[in-house]
Every structure is written in C-alpha cells, then in structure tokens.
Structure 1
Amino acid sequence: MSLIPLIYDFDPWSEMDELLEGPFGLGIHPMDIFNSRPRHRSLILHPRKRYYPYLTSKCDRSGKDSKWDKSEIIPTVDKNGFQVCMDVSQFSPNELIVKTVDRTVMVEGKHEEREDEHGFIQRNFIRKYTLPKGFDPKDVVSTISSDGVLTIKAAPPAIKNKNNNERIVQIQQTGPAHLSIKQPEQSKTEEVSNRAAEKMETK
C-alpha cells in the first residue's frame, strides 16, 4: 500500500483544530489537555490511541454507534473533590455564567450573532452537573484558562470528627468541701434556727 496519500494528508495541527473548534461546551478529558500529541507513526500503528471527546460527539449514538456512549465525559470525583472541564473557547469570559441551584451546577454560554470565516453564527449552550452527596454548593469555584478551558471544582466534604461534641471541663480548686457543700435539709434546718434566734434576741 502506498504511503504517499498518508503523507500528503498529514497535518500536525489537524487534531488540535478538532479539539478547539467545532462543537463547544463539551467535556474535555484531562489527557486531551496535558498529554503531548502522539507521533505520526504511532497513529499508524495505534490509531486514535488517545481519547477524543469530539470524535464521540460526531458519532450517531443510536444503533451500531451506541458503543460511543461509554466515552461520555463525566465529572471526576476523588480525594481532591469534584472537578469537570469543558471547552468554551468559542466564548469570552463575560459570555459565560456558572451558578448553582441547590446541588446542581449550571454552566451557560451565549454570544450574539457574529461573523466568522464561514459567515454569521450565534451560539448558546446550557450544561448541568449534579454535585455528589455531601458536597456543599458554596464550595464551587470556576476558572477559565487563556486557551478557553473552563474548569469547575468543589472541595471534598470535610471529614466530621466523631468527638466534635467533646468539651474539656476545667477543674477549679476550692477550700474544704464541708465549707462549700451542704446537704439541702441541713441548710434549711440551720436557716430556721437562725431565724428563731433572731426573734428571741429582738424580744
């Protein structure tokens, strides 16, 4: 088989274009961000070795292509907490809104009609993610990178200490116990005796 067509079709930036253009508001696998692009010969021996979320989005998920459902991007939850990344390179930061409604994180993106190389286009999307049980919506934070990757994070739930209700009571030192602690009945008897003595003195 001739390798000439393969060589002519080789474009070192084509996969990066697929990653940053086309669909938007979709999840990005961390490998797409941090891993270096495989060399061309590895694509020949092991085609599509890496995970490409946009290839998934372009497939018909009905019938024979339902296998692509397994590649759906979902938020990661581990010891570092909740995290989800998505490509929003088609939007500027002021065209994005991240908010929480109860335990749901909502991401909205919208820009008015604008001109691009293909004509005029208007984009908008809404994505929703449910925080795992125990996560506090108040802990949700979001950042956007200079190359248009939106990252949403939430700190893991604080580990509750079983001894949270424990309190050390300080011990105060006093004089002899018989001077400060009296039996209730004894106290009443002494009080009555003292009153009787006072009456006799007044007479």
Structure 2
Amino acid sequence: MSLIPLIYDFDPWSEIDELLEGPFGLGLHPIDIFNSRPRHRSLILHPRKRYCPYLASKCDRSGKDSKWDKSEIIPTVDKNGFQVCMDVSQFSPNELIVKTVDRTVMVEGKHEEREDEHGFIQRHFIRKYTLPKGFDPKDVVSTISSDGVLTIKAAPPAIKNKNNNERIVQIQQTGPAHLSIKQPEQSKTEEVSNGAAETMETK
C-alpha cells in the first residue's frame, strides 16, 4: 500500500486547529454526556486534504449527519418544563454568568488571557435562549456538573382552570365581638335622657 496519500494528507497544524476550534459553550445532546471521548474519523479510511477535528468529532458523536447537530443546541420543552445543556468545561463556575432579561435567558462565559501548554489563549461566548410563552423567568435555575456541563431549567407554567372561580377565604381570629360593636346613636340618646331624669328625681 502506497504511503503517498498518508504523507499528502498529513497536516502539522492539526493540533493548533483543534485548539482554536474547541467546542466550548456549545449545546449538548444527552448522547454527548455518555460519550465523553469523541472518536475521530480515521484519516486512512476517509482521507481529506484538510482535517477538521471539531467537525469530525461532532459527526462521530452523533453517528448522523449535520441535521442531528442542529438539534443539540435547541432547548427541549416537555411536561417537565424547559431545559438546555451546554459544554462549558473550558470555564470555571466563577467565569460563567446566567441571567434573565424579560423572557430571554442569557449565558455568558469569559476568562481573560491565560497561558497554557500551547501558549496564550482567551475565550468568550454569549448564548441567548427565549423562554416559551407562559414560562416565568423567576423559575429559571442553573446547575453545573463536575465535568463542566451547564444545565438550565425552568418549571412548566401552572395549569389554570378558567371555569373554577372558587377561592378559600381565610378566617381571622379576633378578640370579643361586643368590644368592637358600636351602639346606635339613638340608644345612646335614650340612655342620656334617662340619666338626666333620674338626676332630677333624686334632687
């Protein structure tokens, strides 16, 4: 077997491309959580002039074409509510911000320039997701796993029965009732007149 195709396809810059094309801040499909080690496409069986590690790993992880990749960054909405997952393993928790602006959920990750084994690198990303109608932004919560998977959830809206107008009225306890009841003005006038008559008879 000739070695010329292998030599021709060899790209000494592939490691640098893989570093620059790191998939930080990208959406995750549940299959990505279980397959933590992406299998790269073989250059011997699939030779190409320029090998892109990111595209190969995305294709191998899903086992399908690019139509599946689009669903990886789309949030899921079902009976359990709103949920979206993303890979933020390149960032520490204190370098991430999750906030809501009206019905929009914003995720931002940023770390300043730092030195690693390949040189200096700086990363920054912003992702925005719109909550479905009826979802309350106050119900949005976020968690991050030890392996760098950020999960954002929102509880489903409560189901309201429009035909049921029943409401329980709370009964408040107070002191004795006769202390808070005012006597009519007529009764007070009669009492005053009777008191005056009694005074005159006494004299």
Matched residues in 2 for 1:175 and 1:118: separation? 78
**Who is 1:186 aligned against?**
186
Contact between 2:106 and 2:129, CA under 8 Å: does it hold in 1? yes
Q: Deviations over 1:124-181 (max 9, x none)?
A: 1100000000000000000000000000000001111234422479999999999999
CA RMSD of aligned residues (A): 8.3
Deviates more, 1:30-39 or 1:168-177: 168-177
Deviates more, 1:25-34 or 1:36-45: 36-45
Over 3 Å counting, the alpha-carbon distance change for 1:12 and 1:47 in structure 2 is: same
C-alpha displacement of 1:183: 23
Q: Deviations over 1:28-83 (max 9, x none)?
A: 00111136879999999999999999538989999999867755520000000000
Contact between 1:20 and 1:89, CA under 8 Å: does it hold in 2? no
Over 3 Å counting, the alpha-carbon distance change for 1:111 and 1:187 in structure 2 is: same
Contact between 2:28 and 2:87, CA under 8 Å: does it hold in 1? yes
The alignment status of 1:142 with 2:123, answered yes or no, reads no
Matched residues in 2 for 1:112 and 1:200: separation? 99
In structure 2, runs of 5+ residues without a counterpart are none
Identity value in percent: 96
Over 3 Å counting, the alpha-carbon distance change for 1:122 and 1:49 in structure 2 is: closer
**Who is 1:161 aligned against?**
161
C-alpha displacement of 1:95: 0.4
Q: Please state whether the residue corresponding to 1:97 is helix, strand or coil.
A: strand
C-alpha displacement of 1:116: 1.4
Q: Please state whether the residue corresponding to 1:22 is helix, strand or coil.
A: coil
Deviates more, 1:131-140 or 1:49-58: 49-58
C-alpha displacement of 1:118: 1.2
Over 3 Å counting, the alpha-carbon distance change for 1:160 and 1:16 in structure 2 is: farther
Report how many aligned residue pairs link the two structures. Answer: 203
**Who is 1:15 aligned against?**
15
Q: TM-score, normalised by structure 2?
A: 0.59
Deviates more, 1:164-173 or 1:193-202: 193-202
Q: TM-score, normalised by structure 1?
A: 0.59
Over 3 Å counting, the alpha-carbon distance change for 1:142 and 1:12 in structure 2 is: farther
Deviates more, 1:121-130 or 1:155-164: 155-164
Q: Please state whether the residue corresponding to 2:27 is helix, strand or coil.
A: coil
Matched residues in 2 for 1:51 and 1:161: separation? 57
Q: Please state whether the residue corresponding to 2:61 is helix, strand or coil.
A: coil
Deviates more, 1:148-157 or 1:41-50: 41-50
Over 3 Å counting, the alpha-carbon distance change for 1:30 and 1:64 in structure 2 is: closer
In structure 1, runs of 5+ residues without a counterpart are none
Q: Deviations over 1:166-201 (max 9, x none)?
A: 247999999999999999999999999999999999
Deviates more, 1:69-78 or 1:48-57: 48-57
Moved over 4 A (4+): 1-21, 35-54, 56-72, 167-203
